[in-house]
Amino acid sequence: MAKVQVLNVAVLDNPSPFGNPFQFEITFECMEDLPEDLEWKIIYVGSAESEEYDQTLDSVLVGPVPAGRHMFVFQADAPVPSLIPESDAVGVTVVLITCTYRGQEFIRIGYYVNNEYTDAELRENPPLKPDYGQLQRNILASNPRVTRFHINWEGGSEKMEDSENVDPAPNAMLPPACPPGKALGLMPDNSMDCL
């Protein structure tokens, strides 16, 4: 079973202007002392069309992790606007938090993100070129989508069964590149352990 369980993720500074850094306060619990660090990543899905617009906002190592309950705040800079296709700047997209241990991803938390203008005028008539200064980012904090994967927690060469060791296949669970709305819709209601 998983040695690390994510108990809660609180979305801080939400809603906030588009340029503000992302802040997630993550509470997790660890069953036994981990000899290696956990690696957390925040991935911003720039466009539903293609994975190439995914931006890894930041990755951070978390450790040492003794057995117990821990919390930390993961802060990452806002996505670089120039890497986002202009047509996808406004509207619903997804931000992902993933955690890997020994290079294996064991949890993926997805949030819907809605970017819209606060100004009614702009909302009615959005400029052709997005005005990032006026955009507000709203993360749908109440509805995280969690996918957990079985990984080999032991360092040994012992291989886990195939089904447990498969990389999160693009069509099996939320692929970073899927159209955001569709991708989240595909996920079963109880999105635990899709494998």
Partner 1 sequence: MKLLKPSWVTHDGKPIFSVDIHPDGTKFATGGQGEDSGKVVIWNMAPVLREDDEKNENIPKMLCQMDNHLACVNCVRWSNNGLYLASGGDDKLVMVWKKAAFIGPSTVFGSSSKLANVEQWRCVTILRNHTGDVMDVAWSPHDVWLASCSVDNTIVIWNARKFPEIVTTLKGHTGLVKGLTWDPVGKYIASQADDHSLKVWRTMDWQLETNITKPFNECGGTTHVLRLSWSPDGQYVVSAHAMNNSGPTAQIIERDGWKTNMDFVGHRKAVTVVKFNPKIFKKKQRNGNAPRPSCPYCCCAVGSKDRSLSVWLTSLKRPLVVIHDLFDKSIMDITWTLNGLGVLVCSMDGTVAFLDFSQDELGDPLNEEEKNTIHQNIYGKSLAVTMETQLSTTVIENPEMLKYQQERQAAQSAIIAQATGPDNQTPKLANVVNGESLEDIRKNLLKKQVETRTADGRRRITPLCIAQLDTGDFSPALFNSVPILPGSSVSTTLIPQLSSDSNTATSLCLRAPPEPPATSPTKNTDDKESGNPSVNSAALKSNLLLTSASKIEPMKALDSRFTERSKPAPGMFSVCVRGKEASGHKDWKVKEDTSSDSEDKGTQRIPPLAKRKADMDGVEVVEKRKKGRPRKDTKIMMNVPHSYPQVRAVYLGLENELCVRACVRPCVQVGTDPVTYVEVENEVSVVAGARISQLRCCREKSEWDIVLPSRIVLTAGSSDVVAVACEDRTLSVFSASGRRLIPSIMLPAPMSALHCSAFFVMALTASATLSVWYANDPSVPHSTVNQCVLTEQGVPVVGLSSGKTYCFSPSMETWNLIVDKQDSLVQCADFRNCISSLGALGATGPLAITQGRNLSAGQLASRLSSAPHHLQQGMTLAFLENQLCSSLLLLSANEYRHWLLIYTRFLVSEGYEQRLRELCKDLLGPVHKSSSTSWEPKVLGLRKRDLLMEVLPVVGQNLRFQRLFTEYQDQLELLRLK
Residue 195 in contact with partner 1, rule: CB under 8 A: yes
> Which two tokens mark 167?
């990389």
Q: Which range touches partner 1 (CB under 8 A), out of 23-31, 44-52, 114-122, 129-137?
A: 23-31
Peptide bond into 85 cis (omega under 30): no
Is residue 7 near partner 1 by the rule CB under 8 A?
yes
Distances (CA, A) of 119 to 14, 76, 126, 149: 17, 26, 10, 41
Examine residue 23 and tell whether it contacts partner 1 (CB under 8 A): yes
Rounded distance between C-alpha atoms, residue 24 and residue 158, angstroms = 34
The DSSP H or E segment spanning 111 is strand 104-117
Using the contact rule CB under 8 A, the part of the chain among 8-16, 120-128, 131-139, 168-176 near partner 1 is: 8-16
Can residue 72 be called a binding residue for partner 1 (CB under 8 A)?
yes
157 lines the binding site for partner 1 (CB under 8 A): no
β 135-139/38-45 pair status:
unpaired
Which is closer to partner 1, CB of 34 or CB of 90?
34
- Per CB under 8 A, 166 contacts partner 1: no
* Minimum separation from the CB atom of position 41 to partner 1 (A): 11
What 3 state SS string does 44-91 have?
EECCCCCHHHEEEEEEEEECCECCEEEEEEEEECCCCHHHCCHHHCCE
- Which residue among 35, 64, 127, 170 contacts partner 1 (CB under 8 A)? 64
Interface residue list for partner 1 (CB under 8 A): 1-2, 5-10, 12, 23, 25, 27-29, 31, 37, 58-75, 109, 144-146, 150, 164, 189-195
